[in-house]
Amino acid sequence: MEKKLCVIGLGYIGLPTAAVFADSGWKVTGIDTNPIVVETLNKGNVHIEENGLEEIVDRVVKNGSLTARMTPVNANVYIIAVPTPHNPDLTANLNYLKSAVRSIIPVIESGNTIIVESTIPPRTMQDVVNPLLIKEGFITGENIHLAHCPERVLPGKILDELVFNNRIVGGLDPISTEVAVDVYRTFVKGNILKTSAENAEMAKLMENTYRDVNIALANELTKISENLNINPLEVISLANEHPRVNIHQPGPGVGGHCLAVDPYFIIEKDPVNSLLISNARKINESMPGFVVEKVKQAIGSNSTVTLFGLAYKGDIDDIRESPALKVYKQLIDCGYSVKPYDPHVKQEQVDFNLYSLEDSLKNSDMVVILTDHSEFKLLDWKQITGLMRNDYVLDTKGCLNKCTLKNYFNYDNLYELKPNTISLTY
């Protein structure tokens, strides 16, 4: 088979995927509707932060195996990796997906393979994608192949996980499954698991829902523990000594485009039976408010709060659905002066002021750690708190292990933060 591939959507998943295929003998055209993304890529540069991506993109653009443009060209295989955000009512917005499918219709030919990697509600391949192709006279399994192969990579480790993770490939029919498996075999070293499109859709959603529900359990434990003067982090580590227990870690909430979004794709399809999933969402959504409540208890109002970390998790620049943004907004709404610092996030990513490390600490009463960036663990915290007006630290990620600072609080000792017991120095 001639190895020409078109990747539609050059974001966090599409760009690394395009680069890895291009590095494995495919002639790849990356498609994006954003001209800046296209221009940046054609210069051999990248517009997102991901370990090792710059080097591989530079190589495949220079050797001509990866080029970018704004509209699709003919290829043998099309991989769609566009965002599937949620609507205000929390149902999946499939507009990008539908328009990606429509954009390739003029260039697809008999024998081509179309693979959707975007995360989608169960039955979307059957009920939304396939009908768009049928309308144009294509017959899946006969003159085209159609499959869902959900991406399952972790930001920060994408290039490694693309190659070594097991992959689920779900075709609309058995031939489509086999053809799509052959596509991924060119570089995937993990197992390739064959199934139906709808099982693939649901398996992907349940992976992230499992984590969301498990994190909600840890967050609920945190709230109960605060009430009962118990140390939840210690409880989790003790319980996890059991060979079949793996409670996740509590935090300021759940962010990212996956765990915070995917459960809603299941809820929308069967709300009556999704009670646990939807309660877990509510618990995790309540955590930014819980953090703000702790700030209030510790330092009262009319104070200055430094936020360490806006990214939704450590060592990345991704702020999508980040609970830190919600904490920021709620603190502002409560009248606090808020100074966010994040060594990974750039000013143009947000519509409020970001501070340098030093400026963020000036006149500050409390640092709230919201992201577990490695940089924060390496700081000299005695020196950091010395630069502040008051030296309170609230570590929502349990970042500073064995911290001995006097006014250090993490989820283990929240019960010590009794309202109005702390006097501030002005």
- The interface region with ligand SAJ, picked from 131-139, 243-251, 290-298, 360-368 by CB under 6 A, is 243-251
Out of 6, 149, 194, 204, the active site residue is 204
Give 173 or 375: the residue with its C-beta nearer to ligand SAJ.
375
11 vs 256, beta carbon nearer ligand SAJ: 256
Q: Is 397 a catalytic residue?
A: no
292 alpha-carbon distance from chain centroid:
23
* d(C-alpha 348, C-alpha 325), whole Å: 15
* Catalytic option among 258, 269, 313, 399: 258
Non-local (6+) Cβ contacts of 237 within 8 A are none
Name which position in 211, 223, 320, 377 contacts ligand SAJ (CB under 6 A): 211
- CA dist 158 and 51 (Å) reads 8
Contact 268, 92 (CB under 8 A): yes
Q: Judged by CB under 6 A, which of 259, 292, 298, 399 binds ligand SAJ?
A: 259
Q: Which stretch binds ligand SAJ (CB under 6 A): 25-33, 86-94, 98-106, 247-255?
A: 247-255
**Contact pick of 248, 269, 281, 326 for ligand SAJ (by CB under 6 A):** 248
Indicate if 204 belongs to the active site.
yes
Binding test (CB under 6 A) with ligand SAJ, winner from 54, 173, 178, 207? 207
Q: Which of residues 152-171 bind ligand SAJ (CB under 6 A)?
A: 152-155
Under 8 Å CB-to-CB from 86, ≥6 apart: which residues? 92, 93, 261, 264, 265
Q: Which residue has the tokens 């591939």?
A: 5
Site for ligand SAJ in 123-152 (CB under 6 A): 151-152
263 binds ligand SAJ (CB under 6 A): no
Nearest to 315 by CA among 376, 254, 368: 376
Which residues neighbour 4 within 8 Å (Cβ) at sequence distance 6 or greater? 26, 27, 29, 74, 75, 76, 77
The only residue of 122, 171, 255, 288 in contact with ligand SAJ, by rule CB under 6 A: 255
Q: Which structure tokens are listed for 311?
A: 């990214």
Cβ atoms of residues 203 and 150 within 8 Å: yes
Burial grade of 383 (CB within 10 A; 0-12, 13-18, 19 or more): exposed
Which residue is closest to ligand SAJ by CB? 258
# residues contacting ligand SAJ (CB under 6 A): 19
Q: What are the backbone angles phi and psi of residue 393, rounded to the nearest 5°? A: -130, 125
Interface of this chain with ligand SAJ, residues 297 to 356, rule: CB under 6 A? 312-313
Q: Choose which of 208, 222, 274, 360 interacts with ligand SAJ (CB under 6 A).
A: 208
CA angle 313, 300, 295 (to 5 degrees): 15
Contacts of 199 (CB under 8 A, 6+ apart): 170
Backbone angle region of 395, left / alpha / beta, with phi > 0 → left and psi within -120 to 50 → alpha: beta
- The least distance separating ligand SAJ from the CB of residue 300, rounded to whole angstroms, comes to 27
- Contacting residue, 9, 232, 251, 263, with ligand SAJ by CB under 6 A: 251
**Complex with ligand SAJ: residue 148 or 152, whichever CB lies closer:** 152
Q: Is residue 245 part of the contact set for ligand SAJ (CB under 6 A)?
A: no
Residue ranges binding ligand SAJ (CB under 6 A): 151-155, 207-208, 211, 215, 248-249, 251, 254-256, 258-259, 312-313
The residues that are catalytic are 204, 258
